[in-house]
Structures are given as structure tokens and as C-alpha cells.
A and B are shown apart, each in its own frame.
Chain A
Amino acid sequence: AREIAAGEGTEAGGVCVDARNVPALMEQSRYVKFLQDLGVDLSRDMQQVAPGAHYSLGGVKVQPPTACLGMPGVFASGEVMGGVHGANRLAGNALPETQVFGALAARESIEYLRSKSYAPVRPGDMKPRPVERGESQVWDSLCLARTRQSGRPVEELEFNLREIMQRYGATIRTGPGLEEALARVEKLRRTFREEMMLPVRPGVWHPELVKATELANMLEVAQALLACALVRTETRGAHFRDDFPDRDERFDGHNFVVRGHGEKMSVFRCDRSGKEKVQVWP
């Protein structure tokens, strides 16, 4: 990441991996076969690589094992839930996480259903109704975007967000960088509301609408991620701060919890006991 950030990467923005003399890699693995299909021969060519987001540490807070806090009847399992891996997930633990917590979520769901008495719901019982103005800010923004005759396409906004996160929220983080990123995300949220234009398509195929819906969520996650990275003024596990390159034991066992969304989002620092302690952002 450092070489790339210093401008010493390749034209495409990566670094080269030279595995030409590693015989073990020449064995026919699925990945080697995929590269061969793309015309890349590891014994002959160097490979361009760059850091990319692979896994999401942290996530929904649960009452162990899987019950989402504040949302009765909702259960989270796998990567979406926080607290399983600590500061850094060890390689190979993501798949077992899905199996173990998937099974636990299923079990908890069944217990939950058995503990209440529900009348069975039949198709036709639940009738869709139009979303009312003011019920959902995201929905209102999407509807507004469909009425605009001109504006910014959703692909451009999504690309901007990815650029911001790759530059400021990725492998190497700094205080000023994170502050800059938070400001840009806030600006992007305003653009989403006030300038985004979505084409109106008939029928079920509407990729821009899907992208815009996802983008609304991505903006929330981005803000949460950047804010928590900003207040954790140390380096620990996968979180690397160039301006605080050492681990600070005052953060041992401390977690940051995010509440609310959009302009109302706030971050709290919790101590070892897990009791919510103090608001640290904004």
C-alpha cells in the first residue's frame, strides 16, 4: 500500500508480484486455472496486485450468540455481525463463522418463534402499500432522483465513494485523511439527496435503482467506519494509523459502538465491561 500511495505503483495502480520461480504455484489450482483462462501464465508473467477490501470487521451488535440488539426477532450471523474476530480476523475463520453462527441464528429464530404465538401469515394477508412521504429519507431521495431531468448518475457517486474509501479508509489511515474523508462522505450524501438523477425504467430490471439503494447503505457504513477509525488513535490488528503506529493498551478490550444514521450518527466508546461509556464522535 505504501508504494502505491507514494506513486511508485504500476500504471494501473498496483505492484507486481514475481512468482515465476515458485514451482508450487504451477500446480493446477482453481485460481491458476482461472488466471490461465485470462491469458496469465504465472510461470512466465508477473502479476499485478493491489490491496482491496476483502472482509468487514465489526458489524451489528448482538446479544450473543446472534440476537440483534434493539431489534427483537432479527438475528445476525456471519460477517454482518461484529465482535467475533476482535481486531483482526484470522485467515480461514470466515467460513466457519458462517456455518457456526448460521446454525445458531437458525436455532435462536426457532426458539423465538416458539416463545410467541403467531397467527400463520398467508399470501395475500400482507398487502403492499405506498411508502408515505417522510417515512424514509432514502426512499424520498430515490423518488426525487427519478423525477429529475438532469443530474449526477449513481455510478459516478458510487465511484466517488469507492475512491474516498480506498484512499483514506483502507490499509493506511491518518487523522487528517479520515477527517477529509468524513467531510467528503457528508458532501456525497448531500449530492445523493439533491443532485442524483435516476432513469425511469419500466419493468423489474432497474440496475440504477438497485445501485442507488445500495449506495445509501454504503454511505452509512462508510461514515461509521471512518468515524470509528478516527477515534481509535492507535494501531491494532487490521486498523493501521500512520500517525499512531503503536498499540495503545488503554484501548485494550475497548470497542466503539455506532448509533443512529446520517447526520444523527454518533460513536460511543465502551470499556471492557461492555457498558456504554462516553460519546466520542462527533
Chain B
Amino acid sequence: MKVSCQIRRQEPGGNPWWERYEVEIRDGSTAMDLLHAIAGRDPGLAFPPHHCKMGICSACSLLIDGRQRLACRTLVSAPEIRLEPIPGSPLIKDLLVDFLAWQEKLLTLGKESE
């Protein structure tokens, strides 16, 4: 199926912009498959990598059509899709955020009550 994908891109220290990609993907593709298809043509697009490949590690977290989802288990079911990085973490580039900062913050949670 043909998909028109809007992606919120940003270089480190720069301003964000929207970029539109038109791609052809197989039926039953996930948002992660879509990103790999796009990256094949635009290798400069940064996005969170496949990690566990079974929908539990949350490394591929993205805002998909405004909702926080895991890209590896979200089917692309409509001809239009919008992808943005998840909020709340420092942005590295495009769709890729710094998970380490998020993990480190998690580790401090217990300490405050000690």
C-alpha cells in the first residue's frame, strides 16, 4: 500500500520541521517496517532502533498519530501517518531521544525516599 508519512525532524540545536515521505510498503507492515523503508532512501533519518523485536522493551517508542505507541507493534493501517519523537526526553536527532537520561531518572526515584 502507498503511505504518505509526515515526520517531525530536527537537527541537534536546530529548529524542528516536518518532512513528508511517500513510500510503498507491504500490507501488514508495522511503523518500524515503514521507518526502515524510509531510511533505505534517506539514511540521514534518525529513529529509535529495533531492539527486542517483540513489543516489550519500549526502545522503539514514538508518537504515532499523536499517541505514544511502540513502533514495532503498531500496524500501518491508513494511507496517512504522522510520526514524532516521544516527549519528555532530550532529543538527539529527528525521532531519536536519549533513553539513557530517562533510565537514569528512573534510577533516582527510589533514592528520594531513602
Binding site for B on A (CB under 8 A): 30-31, 34, 37-39, 199, 203-205, 207
CB-CB under 8 A from A38, the residues of chain B are 28, 30, 73, 75
Determine the distance from Cα of A39 to Cα of B29 in the docked complex, in whole angstroms: 10
CB distance from B14 to the nearest CB of A (A): 11
**B92 on the A face (CB < 8 A):** yes
Candidates A34, A199, A204; contact of B55 at CB < 8 Å: A34
- Interface of chain B, main secondary structure: loop
A205 touches B73 (CB 8 A): no
Chain B 7-57 residues near chain A, CB threshold 8 A: 11-12, 28, 30, 43, 46, 49, 54-56
CB-CB under 8 A from B54, the residues of chain A are 31, 34
**B6 on the A face (CB < 8 A):** no
Determine the distance from Cα of A37 to Cα of B12 in the docked complex, in whole angstroms: 33
Determine the distance from Cα of A204 to Cα of B11 in the docked complex, in whole angstroms: 11
CB-CB under 8 A from B56, the residues of chain A are 30, 34
5 new A-B contacts at CB < 8 Å, known A38-B28, A38-B73, A39-B75: A34-B55, A34-B56, A38-B30, A205-B46, A207-B49
**B74 on the A face (CB < 8 A):** yes
CB distance from B95 to the nearest CB of A (A): 11
Question: Can you report 14 A-B residue pairs in the complex whose CB atoms are below 8 A from each other?
Answer: A37-B73, A37-B74, A38-B30, A38-B73, A39-B28, A39-B75, A199-B43, A203-B11, A203-B93, A204-B92, A205-B46, A205-B92, A207-B46, A207-B49
